[in-house]
């Protein structure tokens, strides 16, 4: 998706990543706060300030290295903390907090698609490519984060409906943090990457036509 990019396109990609992840993470915090948990507020994470949400290694350096190396990138921001036991509606409230981030990326992709249809086809090649990259980034964030593997956001939706034995296993995986993401990306993702890419392409085609 992000191969053979020019310097300008790499800059647009970096800005799109930082902007989209910042809005994604802030939305988690705002939804958790709305549901009664003030953890994110107490830690200063109810903000769109990218400096509060990005990690220079996992959000910027690592994905850019993977892109330049021609490898599939993945993007990890600083997770917004929240206490599932403090939100209203229990596991269902926690599921709302979890899916709010990816759904925000889907909304951003939709906004980008509207801009594409309004301006992209008649704009300069740089504007055309910038809008396209922004939409692609947000589609990728939406689909990847909705995968129900802890600690990805989609796991919160699975928690709400999974039987207790499966919840215990998921909790053990989630407690390994970034290690679980690395294991998933390098050992599990290769088995589902084909369908994931097909879904991304289908959604991109649906939005951009």
Nearest CA to 77 among 36, 105, 96? 105
Question: Positive or negative, the Cα torsion across 183, 184, 186, 190?
Answer: positive
List the domain boundaries for the chain: 7-208
pLDDT tens-digit profile of 25-67?
999 999 999 999 999 999 999 999 988 998 887 777 777 777 7
Is residue 77 within 8 Å of residue 55, measured between CB atoms?
yes
pLDDT tens-digit profile of 62-111?
777 777 766 666 777 888 989 989 999 999 999 999 999 999 999 999 99
Nearest CA to 197 among 122, 132, 144? 144
State the Cα torsion 98-137-202-92 to the nearest 10°: 0
User: Count of CB atoms within 10 A of residue 193's CB?
Assistant: 12
State the Cα torsion 174-81-51-142 to the nearest 10°: 60
Nearest CA to 125 among 1, 12, 2? 12
Q: Provide the annotated active-site residues.
A: 25
**What H or E segment, with its residue span, contains residue 64?**
helix 62-68
Per-residue pLDDT, averaged over 148-172, amounts to: 94
pTM score above 0.75 = yes
């Amino acid at each position: 998706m992000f191969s053979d990019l020019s310097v300008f396109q790499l800059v647009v990609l970096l800005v799109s990543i930082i902007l989209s992840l910042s809005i994604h993470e802030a939305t988690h915090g705002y939804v958790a706060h709305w549901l009664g948990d003030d953890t994110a507020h107490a830690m200063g994470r109810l903000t769109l300030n990218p400096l509060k949400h990005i990690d220079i290694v996992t959000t910027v350096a690592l994905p850019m290295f993977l892109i330049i190396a021609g490898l599939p990138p993945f993007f990890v921001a600083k997770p917004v903390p929240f206490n599932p036991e403090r939100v209203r509606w229990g596991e269902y409230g926690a599921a709302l907090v979890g899916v709010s981030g990816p759904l925000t990326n889907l909304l951003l992709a939709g906004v980008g698609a509207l801009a594409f249809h309004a301006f992209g086809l008649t704009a300069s090649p740089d504007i055309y490519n910038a809008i396209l990259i922004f939409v692609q980034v947000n589609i990728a964030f939406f689909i990847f984060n909705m995968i129900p593997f802890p600690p990805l956001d989609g796991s919160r939706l699975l928690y709400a409906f999974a039987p207790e034995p499966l919840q215990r296993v998921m909790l053990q995986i989630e407690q390994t943090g970034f290690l679980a993401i690395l294991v998933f990306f390098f050992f599990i993702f290769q088995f589902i990457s084909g369908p994931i890419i097909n879904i991304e392409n289908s959604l991109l085609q649906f939005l951009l036509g």
